[in-house]
């Protein structure tokens, strides 16, 4: 018993010695092996770890009192030493005075023990990591040895200490991982919003607070990239923007953080010179707007940036964050690809925008919107041939809002696809309702945003609507702007082909205001073009508008496409378009957009259509 107490005292002196707790895990384990081997006067002492699948034991630490620590890796496999592994897994302490004759270790004979090896007697104690078997502490003697009870108790105490050391290290590692996760974005490796707020707190609490700017970046139209080119391309764009912000060699740059899916923030030491700050922001944006190459694809990605200044704009952290984000949204509302500095007008605009956005979301969820219909007439017979579905919002306080007032908001809020599908479903409901009243609804044209067109599931969603309301595909015409089809995307081509197979007609809306090549128009299954009202309003008196409209009509004729002129308001416009061979006319000269009830009444009044 006295011997065990001396062993225990020596172990406690080591564990509580000055500096032991500050040692690395490896140094701690080496110190424990040294003390264990020296106290018990063994020929060797080692630590073995179990592989994750439990198929092998691997020697990690090896100490011999006569020669010190060695790195002598050795592996024992379960397949060759099944009984030995079973003993360890059953949490047994393996004590053998003659390892060459003990059934539990006989499989080691000829390789690890006996026949000239340095191992004849063994004392093995399991080591744990929590409740998982980590491995074994192995004491070995070159000669047969009768291990005493104090020897066994001492070895067990050392094995338990190794277990606690491993567990403590695992806890420290998990704390480091948790700290990293807590303060960093796992995708880009940049610091996250939590770190940004902590850094802001540090800067503000300094005895002499610094003047600094908070720049808030948002990648423009990332949803369109994800929908059209795939999430992998979108992720690559986010990663590249993060890398460019991280790599900026900019005096005064303090921190870059990722604060949202497509949003980043930068702290920058404000030089108290507005023109210098503006030049710095412009330089940053120029770097971000350089082309991005992903595989064989060249992408020009833009950002919108909001800038708030401390302490000029506010001396509060939360307010500073809101100010910079509000300025960013203002930059988007002003056309994207630009920077806006915060001011009070931005604050008022941001609050109004947030309120209106919330109300729009509520209107979408609770059928607070409506669909109006505007007839489209044949240019020759002046008969109703189709109609266009137009979304309207009767705001509870502001009254009827024009699409120009809320569609940009829906786009910025990422609501366009949801809005488009809502309109499509309402149109299908109205077509079915017309059928129950004995009316034959003409083909209905529905506008789709670029985000919706690039949705790879669009065809499936449209098919489900047709099936649910028992609508024929030929009763729908889907309109999309030129910019929605400018990319050479297989997803877009597949989607359009599927829609056409359903019998749906496709047309290009507001033609002439965007970008599309003749080759794209030739290779995609469109049957109709709509000339934007901006080209129609000054006909036939504006020579340039006449020339542009004639060129569109000629191109459409060459491609075999029908043409609709929208915004026709007077007889001079009508007669000129008729003379030039325009197929269809739409505008206030004939009918204003009307609620579905009025449109049904128009159909009942005997208006004929093709």
Q: Average pLDDT of 164-189?
A: 68
The three-state secondary structure class of 88 is helix
User: Is the per-residue pLDDT at 220 higher than 70?
Assistant: yes
Q: What is the mean pLDDT of the chain?
A: 83
Q: What pLDDT does 512 receive?
A: 58
Q: What pLDDT does 116 receive?
A: 46
Among 417, 370, 419, 430, CA closest to 395: 370
User: Is the per-residue pLDDT at 488 higher than 60?
Assistant: no
Q: Average pLDDT of 10-16?
A: 80
Q: Cα(608)–Cα(475) distance, rounded to whole angstroms?
A: 16
Among 596, 602, 564, CA closest to 582: 564
Q: Cα(158)–Cα(156) distance, rounded to whole angstroms?
A: 5
Domain spanning 2-180, CATH architecture:
2-Layer Sandwich (3.30)
Q: Average pLDDT of 420-434?
A: 94
Q: Cα(378)–Cα(366) distance, rounded to whole angstroms?
A: 37
Q: Average pLDDT of 312-325?
A: 86
Q: Average pLDDT of 431-459?
A: 90
Q: Which residue has 């004979």 as its token pair?
A: 109
Q: Cα(449)–Cα(438) distance, rounded to whole angstroms?
A: 32
Among 138, 127, 131, 124, CA closest to 161: 127
User: Is the per-residue pLDDT at 8 higher than 90?
Assistant: no
Output the six-digit token pair for 105: 């270790």
Residues contacting residue 43 through CB under 8 Å, at least 6 positions apart:
64, 65, 66, 118, 119, 140, 141, 142
The reply to whether 191-342 shares the fold of 2-180 is no
Residue 121 burial (CB < 10 Å; 0-12/13-18/19+)? Answer: buried
Q: Cα(352)–Cα(358) distance, rounded to whole angstroms?
A: 10
Q: What percent of the chain has pLDDT over 90?
A: 25
Q: What pLDDT does 227 receive?
A: 65
The three-state secondary structure class of 278 is helix
User: Is the per-residue pLDDT at 194 higher than 50?
Assistant: yes
CATH match of 191-342 with 2.40.110.10: no
Output the six-digit token pair for 57: 């034991």
Q: What pLDDT does 521 receive?
A: 67
User: How does residue 583 score in pLDDT terms, banded at 50, 70 and 90?
Assistant: very high
User: Is the per-residue pLDDT at 453 higher than 50?
Assistant: yes
Return the domain boundaries, the chain. 2-180, 191-342, 357-604
User: How does residue 179 score in pLDDT terms, banded at 50, 70 and 90?
Assistant: low
Q: 199-208, 491-500, 505-514 — which one is most confidently predicted on average?
A: 491-500
Q: Average pLDDT of 101-115?
A: 73
Q: Cα(420)–Cα(411) distance, rounded to whole angstroms?
A: 11
What is the pTM for the complete model shown? 0.52
Q: Which of 347-361, 434-448, 549-563 has the lowest mean pLDDT?
A: 347-361
Q: What is the tens place of the pLDDT at every residue in 110-146?
A: 667 544 456 788 899 988 876 678 889 999 888 888 8
CATH no., domain 357-604? 3.20.20.450
Q: Which residue would you say has higher pLDDT here, 344 or 542?
A: 542
DSSP string, 435-468: HHTT--PPEEEEEE-HHHHT-TTHHHHHHHHHHH
Q: Average pLDDT of 332-345?
A: 79
Q: Cα(4)–Cα(436) distance, rounded to whole angstroms?
A: 96
Q: What pLDDT does 610 receive?
A: 46
User: Is the per-residue pLDDT at 321 higher than 80?
Assistant: yes
Q: Which of 80-94, 163-177, 567-581 has the lowest mean pLDDT?
A: 163-177
């Amino acid at each position: 018993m006295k011997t065990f107490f001396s062993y225990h005292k020596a172990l406690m002196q080591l564990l509580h010695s000055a500096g032991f707790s500050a040692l690395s895990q490896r140094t701690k384990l080496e110190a424990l092996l040294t003390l264990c081997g020296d106290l018990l006067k063994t020929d060797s002492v080692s630590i073995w770890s179990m592989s994750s699948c439990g198929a092998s034991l691997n020697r990690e630490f090896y100490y011999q009192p006569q020669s010190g620590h060695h790195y002598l890796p050795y592996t024992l496999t379960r397949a060759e030493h099944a009984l030995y592994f079973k003993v360890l897994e059953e949490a047994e302490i393996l004590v053998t005075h003659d390892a060459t004759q003990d059934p539990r270790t006989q499989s080691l004979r000829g390789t690890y023990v006996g026949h000239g090896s340095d191992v004849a007697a063994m004392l093995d104690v399991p080591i744990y990591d929590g409740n998982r078997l980590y491995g074994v502490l192995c004491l070995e003697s070159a000669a047969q040895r009768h291990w005493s009870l104090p020897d066994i108790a001492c070895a067990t105490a050392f094995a338990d200490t190794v277990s606690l050391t491993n567990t403590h290290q695992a806890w420290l590692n998990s704390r480091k991982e948790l700290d990293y996760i807590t303060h960093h974005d796992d995708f880009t490796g940049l610091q996250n919003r939590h770190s940004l707020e902590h850094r802001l707190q540090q800067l503000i609490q300094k005895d002499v607070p610094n003047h600094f700017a908070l720049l808030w970046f948002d990648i423009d139209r990332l949803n369109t990239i994800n929908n059209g080119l795939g999430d992998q391309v979108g992720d690559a764009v986010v990663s590249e923007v993060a890398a460019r912000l991280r790599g900026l060699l900019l005096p005064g740059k303090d921190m870059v953080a990722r604060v949202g899916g497509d949003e980043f923030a930068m702290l920058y030491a404000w030089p108290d010179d507005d023109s210098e700050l503006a030049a710095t922001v412009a330089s940053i944006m120029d770097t971000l707007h350089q082309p991005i190459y992903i595989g064989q694809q060249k992408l020009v990605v833009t950002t919108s940036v909001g800038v708030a200044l401390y302490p000029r704009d506010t001396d509060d952290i939360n307010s500073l964050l809101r100010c910079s984000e509000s300025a960013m949204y203002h930059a988007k509302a002003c056309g994207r690809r630009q920077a806006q500095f915060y001011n009070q007008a931005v604050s008022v605009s941001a609050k109004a925008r947030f309120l209106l956005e919330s109300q729009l979301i509520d209107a979408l969820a609770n059928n607070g919107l409506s669909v109006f219909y505007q007839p489209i007439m044949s240019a020759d017979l002046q008969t109703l041939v189709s109609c266009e579905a137009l979304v309207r919002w009767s705001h509870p306080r502001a009254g009827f809002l024009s699409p120009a007032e809320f569609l940009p908001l829906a786009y910025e809020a990422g609501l366009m696809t949801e809005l488009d599908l809502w309109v499509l479903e309402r149109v299908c409901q109205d077509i079915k309702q017309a059928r129950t009243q004995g009316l034959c609804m003409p083909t209905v044209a529905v506008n789709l945003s670029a985000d919706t067109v690039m949705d790879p599931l669009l065809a499936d969603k449209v098919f489900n609507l047709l099936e649910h309301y028992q609508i024929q595909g030929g009763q729908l015409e889907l309109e999309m702007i030129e910019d929605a089809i400018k990319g050479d995307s297989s997803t877009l081509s597949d989607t359009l082909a599927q829609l056409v197979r359903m019998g749906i007609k496709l047309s290009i809306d507001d033609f002439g205001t965007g970008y599309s090549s003749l080759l794209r128009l030739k290779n995609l299954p469109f049957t109709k073009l709509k000339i934007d009202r901006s080209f129609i309003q000054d006909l036939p008196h504006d020579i340039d508008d006449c020339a542009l409209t004639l060129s569109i009509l000629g191109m459409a004729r060459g491609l075999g496409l029908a043409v609709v002129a929208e915004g026709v308001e007077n007889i001079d416009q009508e007669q000129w378009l008729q003379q030039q061979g325009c197929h269809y006319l739409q505008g206030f000269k004939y009918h204003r957009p009307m609620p579905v009830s009025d449109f049904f009444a128009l159909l009942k009044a005997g208006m004929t259509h093709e």
